[in-house]
Amino acid sequence: MPSKVFAWLHDDLQGFVGQIRLCIQADSNAPSKFFCDLFRQSGMVRFDLPIELMDGIVTLTASLALGESPEGPEELLCKDQVRFQKYLRLTREVPSWADAANPLVEWWDLHREGLNTVKMANYFDVYHRHLHHFRGRPTHILEVGVASGGSLQMWKAYFGPQLRLTAVDCCPFSGMRGELEDHRTSIWIGDQADPDFWRELVQSVPPPDIVVDDGGHIGSMQLAMFQSLWPHVAPGGVYIVEDIFLAYTQTRNSKLRMSNNS
């Protein structure tokens, strides 16, 4: 079910002529989403926002304006921000082959604060099916697309204290390396489509047991990364490419952030 956001349009707005446009912008790890609607009278209004895939804190920016369309002339009346916490349990259709109990789903449902991560609901059963045998063992995971680092918390909780993490992103936020790096986590900044970057990286870290490509979601970038990394994956390793559907649903610039979630 979508999350509901309520706003109260004050009675004083009845003095304005024409329609009032209320817009909500939702920002998290995922690309910003905009939701606008027109109102002719004051009172309680409701937006249904499809933010069930977001975790952690999502920033909502609300703007109230006079005008018939976002593109037309308008008089901005106000703009404010509100932060709220997601309290939604993960709802997913459990495949017939999946385990009834999934530690990744349990982690997601209990993860109420900390770093943001964004994952599609149906990924968790696939992860657990193909990665569960690495749990509790010395394991090296290489994930591309770090964003604010929530997925690093998830992997550490799932695999346990013997996990080593190599994380890659193209667009570091301020303080990323200081906040996320520790004795078992290293952060690399580079271009997913650059073979020279991968040559340097594989010479500096052990062969990964697991690779998760949650990067730019562009076919040419995914292919360049696969060609560079696949020969270096440890025997018996698993290579995961996420969100390949995005290559068919959006026109994406090759310089987009190498992350959705996580």
- Residues that are catalytic: 217
Q: Do strands 163-169 and 185-189 pair parallel, antiparallel, or not at all (unpaired)?
A: parallel
- Residue 146 token pair: 């770090």
User: What's the rounded Cα separation, in Å, for the pair 1 and 35?
Assistant: 17
Contacts of 128 (CB under 8 A, 6+ apart): 98, 99, 102, 103, 104
DSSP state of 64: E
Per-residue H/E/C for 114-180: CCCCECCCCHHHHHHHHHHHHCCCCEEEEEECCCCCHHHHHHHHHHCCCEEEEEEECCCCCCHHHHH
User: Is residue 261 within 8 Å of 117, Cβ to Cβ?
Assistant: yes
Question: How many residues make up the chain in this entry?
Answer: 262
Q: Tokens 């979630």 appear where?
A: 261
DSSP state of 97: T
